[in-house]
Amino acid sequence: MKIPTKAELERAIEVPFKKWAHRCHEVSLAIVKSGILGERVRVARGTCPGVGAQHSWIVLGWDCYDPEAKILDPTLWSYDKSVKGVWHGAASKRGHRPHGAGSIWNYGRPPNPKGPIIKLPGLSKAAKAFLDTAQPGGLDLTGWWFLAHAPVQGWPAKDIIEAMLKHPKLNCMVPIDIVGMVTDTNPQQLYLREAGKPCAV
């Protein structure tokens, strides 16, 4: 993908570069919604060295959790004075780390159920196999909450989280950033170019 120039991005979102400072999610989302980067891009939110609070940037692809994903960070310069203009490169180069990054196998397994078991219909074989391994006794509300807040790498998170979003007792458990970065939904229209499917988060 050819990276647009600063001037091209300014024209795409109709906001001068000097007014982008410290508006990381707003500017990243405006660029994504403008269409200048194509369709398969999304806003990621997490942390980055040099930024004191949570930060947002654009993933030039669909996998926010690939450390070698190409990203575009339009506002890093306003937090880190060593950065000039719009920063782009591999996520790992500057340490951009989305919320939910990490291996679930290093995080631990859901607790043994103490309440009623809740099953999700329509899961793939891989999702069913993972759940049987993670907690053979099945998951109660506490177990599902644990899973919703676990790192998303190393398990079929997309499949399982999308199923959780359809369940009336589980859909409120999944953090909005995880929904926006893992699934094909677009909660509150904050991550993707298109509105996406309805989401109860």
Give the model confidence (pLDDT) of 184-193 as tens digits. 999 999 999 9
Q: In whole numbers, what is the pLDDT of the chain averaged over residues? A: 94
Q: Give CA torsion, residues 165, 158, 97, 196, to 10 deg.
A: -60
Q: Residue 163 in contact with residue 123, Cβ under 8 Å?
A: yes
| Domain shared by 112 and 126, yes or no | yes
Q: Please indicate, yes or no, if residue 157 is contained in any of the structural domains.
A: yes
Q: Residue 150 in contact with residue 103, Cβ under 8 Å?
A: no
pLDDT in tens, 110-162: 999 999 999 999 999 999 999 999 999 899 999 999 999 999 999 999 999 99
| Domain shared by 90 and 119, yes or no | no
Using N-to-C axis directions, what is the helix angle for 6-13 and 24-34, rounded to 10°? 80
Q: How many residues does the chain have?
A: 201
Q: Please indicate, yes or no, if residue 190 is contained in any of the structural domains.
A: no
Report CA 46 to chain centroid distance, whole Å: 8
| Tokens read off for 85 | 């203009």
| Domain shared by 85 and 30, yes or no | yes
Query: Scanning the structure block, which residue is given the tokens 């991005």?
Result: 9
Residue 201, pLDDT score: 27
Show the domain range for 77.
Answer: 6-98
The pTM score is 0.92
Q: Tally the domains of the chain.
A: 2
Q: Please indicate, yes or no, if residue 159 is contained in any of the structural domains.
A: yes
Query: Scanning the structure block, which residue is given the tokens 């450390």?
Result: 67
Section 93-104 average pLDDT: 97
pLDDT at 200 over 90: no
Q: Which residues are paired to 38 by β-bridges?
A: none
For residues 195 and 42, give the distance between their C-alpha atoms in angstroms, rounded to a whole number.
12
Residue 97, pLDDT score: 98
Q: Please indicate, yes or no, if residue 192 is contained in any of the structural domains.
A: no
The amino acid at 67 = P
> How far apart, in Å, are the Cα atoms of 29 and each of 24, 49, 77?
8, 21, 17
pLDDT at 102 over 90: yes
Q: Which residues are paired to 90 by β-bridges?
A: 70
Last residue of some domain: 66, 98, 130? Answer: 98
pLDDT in tens, 10-19: 999 999 999 9
Q: Please indicate, yes or no, if residue 110 is contained in any of the structural domains.
A: yes
| Domain shared by 75 and 119, yes or no | no
| Domain shared by 93 and 133, yes or no | no
Residue 65, pLDDT score: 97
